[in-house]
Structure 1
Amino acid sequence: MRYAQPLPGSLVKRYHGWKATTFAENEAWYRRLAQEGQRPRAMVISCCDSRVHVTSIFGAEQGEFFIHRNIANLVPPHEPDGLRHGTSAAIEYAVTALHISQIIVLGHSQCGGVKGCEAMCSGHAPELERAESFVGRWMDLLRPGWEAVRGIADADARMEALEKQAVLISLENLMTFPFVAEAVKSGDLALHGLWNDITRGALEIYDARTDAFAPL
């Protein structure tokens, strides 16, 4: 493939540093992971945003979480239409092959994808309205959430509410997958909705009893 390029020297240097320290100090653990395979208990669906470091937030090690990242941590509805669905494939594998017992949808503050949805739905991002925009068509998943919060006057409060709508819509869409719904109803799988304030390091969890997010 003639377009592939060598890694930047800075990344090569960081790799060798990791290999000589973290890997060398935990080589037996890495070997065990390779030989025995992965057995994560939880799947985390989070945003691609580089500021959201899932394993650091939970102090997790390799092998603990099955992680899927996409724009704005969205889960599409179950659509067995023969097309390619990366998020749906990850969910199916986690539930039916890895038999994870928890799915965590993790939203966050200052989400660029959610800001794009706000701009698109309010008519300020015509480029996202184009049929060929992958981001725009993906953010269509969040349009119902925008409709739910568009009446909030304060811009910051509206954005936070829309970020949390991304979590709630994803939880609802998870339940459209038959294998997810079956596992939830049997008690083998639990769904969790979280929102991370990256400025304060705060984490909030959705409480279905109060229909609100509350600090952990």
Structure 2
Amino acid sequence: MTHHLPEHLVAGYRTFLEKRLPAERERFRELAEAGQHPPTIVIACCDSRAAPETIFNSSHGEIFVVRNVANLVPPYEPDGEYHSTSAALEFAVQALKVEHILILGHSGCGGIHAALSPNADPLSPGDFIGKWMSLLDPVAKAMNGNEQMTSRERHAALERVAIRHSIGNLRTFPMIRDLEAQNKLTIHGAWVDIANGDLWSMDPESGDFERMNFETA
């Protein structure tokens, strides 16, 4: 039989058919008939190493995932332009009525590197990434202005500062601001270290990131 997909995808699908689908067939049927009702939307980076479903060990229908370069949220600007992330937020909040929004950052983010290197050669003709990462211009400029930090320190810091910046942008959406004020919606931030799997959650009061530790004495 001829396949029109890359061989590694074909092999993965075959494994899915032979192993996972039989074990979860009832779950798939339920989702198809009843629709999706995830309690949380996760806005994550499109980096292939930082998959939220893997990090949170989630199955089908359990989290609503939106991925873009550097897990950014733009401000509320219904200006007629294309806003993929904003549209997904609107759907999750108003149609799915999620209870939580999580911005999930990660170590070694290439988009953050681009934000800190505005004078570098564009990654591609037209440079969509440069335009997208300009959302971080105010905080990236402030970070680059700190001469006491090394480039690696600035990169690591901006990965977390960008999460707080996106949370600020989330609150420019009237629907989100109103639901949060009514305690019907909670906003969260987290950052994952790809190398060791450590997850750091953001304290909603201080903005500090604290490593989640499940070790017992």
Whole-Å Cα distance in 2 between the matches of residues 209 and 142 of structure 1?
22
Deviation digits for residues 20-41 of structure 1, max 9, x if unmatched?
Answer: 1101111011100100000000
1:147 and 2:137 aligned: no
3-state DSSP of counterpart to 1:208:
coil
Letter in 2 for 1:214: E
- Aligned-residue identity in percent: 40
Q: Where does residue 63 of structure 2 map in the other structure?
A: 65
1:159 and 2:155 aligned: yes
State the Cα distance separating 1:128 from its structure 2 match.
6.2
Question: What 5-or-longer segments of structure 1 have no aligned partner?
Answer: none
State the Cα distance separating 1:155 from its structure 2 match.
2.0
1:169 and 2:158 aligned: no
State the Cα distance separating 1:209 from its structure 2 match.
2.6
State the Cα distance separating 1:210 from its structure 2 match.
2.5
Deviation digits for residues 52-93 of structure 1, max 9, x if unmatched?
Answer: 021111111111100000000000000011111100000000
Q: Where does residue 215 of structure 2 map in the other structure?
A: none
State the Cα distance separating 1:10 from its structure 2 match.
2.9
Whole-Å Cα distance in 2 between the matches of residues 85 and 114 of structure 1?
20
- Does the Cα contact within 8 Å between 2:116 and 2:141 map onto a contact in 1? no
3-state DSSP of counterpart to 1:127:
coil
3-state DSSP of counterpart to 1:83:
coil
Question: What 5-or-longer segments of structure 2 have no aligned partner?
Answer: 213-217
3-state DSSP of counterpart to 2:50:
coil
Whole-Å Cα distance in 1 between the matches of residues 180 and 5 of structure 2?
43
Structural mapping, 1:59-98, within 5 Å? 59-98=57-96
Change (3 A) 1:212 1:36: same
Letter in 1 for 2:129: V
- Does the Cα contact within 8 Å between 2:164 and 2:207 map onto a contact in 1? no
- Does the Cα contact within 8 Å between 2:190 and 2:199 map onto a contact in 1? yes
Q: Where does residue 99 of structure 1 map in the other structure?
A: 97
Whole-Å Cα distance in 2 between the matches of residues 55 and 65 of structure 1?
8
3-state DSSP of counterpart to 2:18:
helix
Supply the RMSD in Å over aligned alpha carbons.
Answer: 1.6
Deviation digits for residues 136-172 of structure 1, max 9, x if unmatched?
Answer: 0100001112123220422222111111122111100
Structural mapping, 1:1-40, within 5 Å? 6-40=4-38
Whole-Å Cα distance in 1 between the matches of residues 124 and 154 of structure 2?
21
Whole-Å Cα distance in 2 between the matches of residues 177 and 210 of structure 1?
22
State the Cα distance separating 1:129 from its structure 2 match.
11
How many residues are matched?
208
3-state DSSP of counterpart to 2:47:
coil
Deviates more, 1:53-62 or 1:205-214: 205-214
Whole-Å Cα distance in 1 between the matches of residues 33 and 11 of structure 2?
28
Deviation digits for residues 84-111 of structure 1, max 9, x if unmatched?
Answer: 1100000000000000000000000000
Structural mapping, 1:197-208, within 5 Å? 197-208=193-204
Whole-Å Cα distance in 2 between the matches of residues 180 and 52 of structure 1?
25
1:49 corresponds to which of 22, 37, 47 = 47
Change (3 A) 1:126 1:17: closer
Deviation digits for residues 172-215 of structure 1, max 9, x if unmatched?
Answer: 00000000001100000000010111112111112133332111
